[in-house]
Structure formats: structure tokens, C-alpha cells
Amino acid sequence: MHDYRLPLLFGMFIALSAFSFTPSLIPRNEILSGGPPKDGIPALTRPKIESASQASHWLQDSDDILGVVINHHARAYPLHILNWHEIVNDSLAGKAFVVTYCPLCGSGMAFDSSDTFGVSGLLYQSDVLLYDHKTETLWSQLMMRAVAGPRTGEKLTTMPVTHSTWRAWRNSHPGSTVLSRHTGYRRDYNRDPYAGYAQDPSLIFPVRYRDGRLHPKTWVIGVEINGVARAWNINDIRKLGEIHETWNDRKIVIRYQNEAVNIRNQTSGETLNSVVLYWFAWVTFHPQSTLFKPAPD
């Protein structure tokens, strides 16, 4: 049995009593245990950091990373570490923030916050629920807000994140620092506990809304502005190289460059906040989302 199936065996036995669900923005019966208890997946705080040259001794060129840039300082977070920790509370260039990754949804996001967060062990629509250490309020990664507990309704401020390969990130940011494998926890970071999951069309946990326009695990990049959502199949972007669209009263350009996708406002040059994730995850949180369709050959 694949590792990623194990929550099915144990999730029903994990108590949900560690958190308050009052008040709540989401139905209580749709908050599910993912298997591990609160902090069973240990978030990282004050993580050890390495130089790009040090990390290149163990990071492979093709390894996926999440990358952030703050005031011209770059840092990479290898997914094979995030698979085991999901949350990294960090700071760079004097700025505190949190990097989050949900392996079930494939979604990597960073938030500008001086709060620190842990992994609750709970899911909503298959997506990780964070909790803040001060009030133990539950926060939805993909909703980008507090959904149950004392701070319900508060929003998180997103930061641009690049989902790329180590080779491409290092070439674009040769001075980048990297999250170290020396986390203080005994984990086999060379082993992917979700091996096979991306190819499997089935989901481990139920979601409210399904959409058959794409394979559920197709990688897409999604943008939501003022409640209007749109997604682009990354395979289409990779094939076309560049897409120009007028969407939501904005002229935008989507580029596949250096093994990563970037979406910009063509007029201002501003990078739009976006998220790379599986199609099923995007559409269950954005059921009215439009989807780019390339012109027939």
C-alpha cells in the first residue's frame, strides 16, 4: 500500500477535540482528520539555512522547489522537505513569513505574517488547515483566511511564490539560500511519501465539487481577483510558451520561462498573485472558475 493511503486507515481514530470550531466559516462536518494528530506533522520554526553551493551536494537539478524573493534576497524550499513538514515559519531580509505546502492539493503558498503556525492534522476539502500558535485558530491555506476559532474571518496576506526546479531557480538566483535538510527531525528526505499520488485520478478525501474538464491531478496555475477566478493548464502554457489574454478587465501575459510559470499584468508589469496546484483542488475552491482553452491546431 502506498504511504499516501495510510490516512485512510488511521484518520477515523484521531480525535478532533484539540481545537475550537466556534465560530466557524465552514461546515463542521467537512473538517476531517488527515490521520496525524495536531503537530504529528511537525512545522519548522527558525529553520537552518544553507548556501546554494552547500545544497547542491544533495539537491538534484530536477528536484522541485518553492522559491521566494524578498528585497532581492532569494530562498528555496525543496518539496521533498516540505512533504514531511508542510509549514516553515521563516524570515528573510528582516521580514517574517510562513511557507506552506499541501501535498494532497499540490499547493504551495507563502503568507506575510509575524504569527507562527503549526500543522493541525485537519483538512478542509482535502487542503491543509494551519493553526496559529497564539490562539489556535484554524486557517485554510487555499481560502487564505481563518475559518474556525477566535480569529475567524481574518485574512492572510499572500506573497509571490515560484514553483520551479532547483536547476532553474539556482540559475536565476545564484545567490539563493536554501532550507537545510538538518531540520532536527529524523525523516528520510530522499523518500517521497506521496509517490504515485500525482498519477492516481482518485482522491483520498472527499471534496464538495468535482469538474471533469481536466484530469483531477493536472497541474494548473490559478488566479482570483475580486472573486473572479481563472486557471491555465501548465502543459498548455509550456507548449505555447506565452499566452496573452484580456481577462477581468486586465491585459495579462502568462509565460513559461526557466521551468516556471509567471503571470503579469501586461500594462503595469505587476506579477499577479497565483498558485500552482492540482486542478481538483483549484476547482473545488473555485467552482465557477473559467479555464483557458488553446485554439485548435
- What is the reported pLDDT for 16? 63
Helix ranges (H only) for 177-252 are 234-240
SS3 label, residue 65: strand
pTM score, whole prediction: 0.94
Measured distance CA(187)–CA(91) in Å, rounded:
23
Q: Show the cell assigned to 247.
A: 481577462
Buried residues in 228-237 as b, exposed as e (16+ CB within 10 A): ebbbbbbebb
Measured distance CA(97)–CA(60) in Å, rounded:
26
238: left (phi over 0), alpha (psi -120 to 50) or beta: alpha
Evaluate the omega torsion of the peptide bond into residue 296 and state whether it is cis, within 30 degrees of 0: no
Residues 161, 68: contact at Cβ < 8 Å?
yes
User: Nearest 5°: CA angle at 71, between 91 and 63?
Assistant: 65
SS3 label, residue 216: coil
Q: Show the cell assigned to 216.
A: 483531477
Beta bridge partners of 77: 66
Residue with cell 536547476: 167
- What is the reported pLDDT for 161? 95
Residue (of 258, 295, 255) closest to 168 by Cα position: 258
Full pLDDT tens readout for the chain, 297 residues: 345 444 444 444 444 667 989 999 999 999 999 989 999 999 999 999 999 999 999 999 999 999 999 999 999 999 999 999 999 999 999 999 999 999 999 999 999 999 999 999 999 999 999 999 999 999 999 999 999 999 999 999 999 999 999 999 999 999 999 999 999 999 999 999 999 999 999 999 999 999 999 999 999 999 999 999 999 999 999 999 999 999 989 999 999 988 999 999 999 989 999 999 999 999 999 999 999 999 886
- What is the reported pLDDT for 295? 84
Proportion of the chain in helix, strand, coil states, percent, rounded to 5: 15, 40, 45
Domain boundaries for CATH 3.30.720 within the chain: 209-291
Residue-level length of the chain = 297
Return the CATH class of domain 209-291: alpha beta
Between β-strands 162-165 and 64-70, what pairing exists: parallel, antiparallel or unpaired?
Answer: antiparallel
